Amino acid sequence: MTKVKQAFAGISQYYGKSIPMSKKNKKLFYLAFFTFLLLVSIITVAIVVRVSTDNVPFTRSHAVVKVSCSSALYPELCFSAIAAEPGFTEKVSSHKDVIQLSLNITIRAVQNNSVSLKKLQTRADLTKRAQTALEDCLKIIDHTLYALRGSISYLNDSSYHADDLKTLVSSAITDQETCLDGFSHDDKDRNVREGLGDGHLNVERMSSNALAMIMNMTDTEDSITSGKMMEVEEEDGITWPEWILTADRRLLQASTVDADVVVAADGSGNYTTVSEAVAAAPEQSSTRYVISIKAGVYSEIVEVPSEKTNIMFVGDGATTTIITGSQNVVDGSTTYSSATVAIEGDGFLARDITFENTAGPTKHQAVALRVEGDLSAFYRCNFLGYQDTLYVRINRQFFVNCLVEGTVDFIFGNSAVVFQYCDLRARLPLSGQKNVVTAQGRVDPNQNTGIVIQNCTIRATQSLEAANGSVESYLGRPWKEYSRTVIMESYISDIINPAGWLAWNGTFALDTLFYGEYQNTGPGANTSQRILWQGFRVITSASEALTFTPGSFISGSTWLASTGFPYALGL
């Protein structure tokens, strides 16, 4: 017997008894009786609601979503967002279906954020920097949409590697942080950020859920290949995939490259500025388009937009071909927009060029180069600045035989990047500042991102050496919660503080970061006095160290050979 039937049975029994009552008692009885009926009604509604809820069919689609979302960092958001989708039971029958639907829902959320950003642009109280930050965000949103839509395409094409898919979704997560970071420079900007936070946080978490499910799928299914290391051969100290013929190797090593166009400041080429040459380059090119930049100082802001793919800059030498600018945060730029050169198109290459920001230490964040194009590589290039010299923002990148100079966080961002045989030099900062080589910005433990420094030299410039040890310098500090940096097989000079690594703010990220050191040499490589954070480790296993080499960490076996630059895939 149900609770409702039991209640009414009790009333019938009681009502059927002959109980003499006075008029006053009758009133009390009716009052009690109707009160009881009201309570019974409430109980009945509650039971009906419960029965109704219990009777909602928990279909196979529900079960698939539940299982798929169990691997997500935000499983309740994952399940509720998909379960609320009209007709989702007809759209979901597999783990891959759940990911695809989640990505589509996330795309709509990004589009809603775009509407909010455009409304904010109409505010009359915006500072110059806030206006710039909103413009940055709208550009970044375009990339997020590209990444999420591309992820859906990759998801349904088994010829793509799992790392391609993970890279796209990882970059979409980072995009949300990059947008919000543009409003972190002063209180007025932070007020604008408050109006954006919830929407971007929702997209970040939805993207995070999709990434976690992708990680789970690619670890357990064969539908997307993980990419295998190709056999390689050593020749003249350069590692080549076995399938590249000797004659082709000689061609790739050649010091000259046939140029499609020439930039020369003296007017002897096709263009006098780098920006003009980029603007004239074809869009979505599947073949390499080479822009030769002759010796000279090019004072301009250069952007290689996302639609300009497979472009290559070739200079006459890093000491003679220089692209320079001085945009900076103090004068109103955001960190993102302060870059002298910004690379947004995939497949970008550069050789024998200096990228410079001359704003100086008093102007704080001032980027020489921002890179976000996937599969970008740089050979024999210089990157000169002070705070935030080189912004390796998203996607997979490779730097070989390059020089990077700076002070605070002078290599920073959230790409998957490897530096090989590079010279990393700390400069003399402002009084009271500490030098920090890296500030890595991973925000999600599933992101395939991090900074790897392999077979490099970490030392001081002459100006810092002259300071006679009065400035503290560190290998890195955690910009974001899951910051990841690995330094291996490198020479570390005595400029590095024995503690090695610097906290960002109190105990923030000290347990969640991953900082590793493997077989480094030099007076600064002694790990006996390193910090005792839970996230720091001295790597002793060669097999673990191999996961951070170009062959594994940036899928180097699939694309580095096409650059024509020297590289080593392993240890």
- Which residues are catalytic, by number? 388, 409
User: What residue has token string 């974001």?
Assistant: 480
**Across the beta sheet with 349-351, what order do the strands follow?**
261-263, 289-293, 311-315, 349-351, 376-379, 396-400, 416-420, 450-454, 484-488, 514-518, 536-538
- The SS3 call for residue 483 is coil
- CB within 8 Å of 472: residues ≥ 6 apart: 434, 435, 497
Q: Please give the Cα distance from 290 to 286 (Å, whole number).
A: 13
Rg of the chain over Cα atoms, rounded to whole angstroms, equals: 30
134 in Cβ contact with 231 (< 8 Å): no
DSSP state, residue 230: P
Q: Which residues pair with 291 in a beta bridge?
A: 261, 313
Measured distance CA(199)–CA(553) in Å, rounded? 31
How many angstroms separate the CA atoms of 164 and 158, rounded? 11
Residue 25 DSSP symbol? H
Neighbours of 554 (CB within 10 A): 29
Where are the alpha helices (H) located in 244-327, listed in sequence order? 246-253, 274-280
Which 3 state secondary structure label does DSSP give 419? strand
Q: Rounded to whole angstroms, how far apart are CA atoms 78 and 66?
A: 9
| Cβ 385 vs Cβ 413: under 8 Å | no
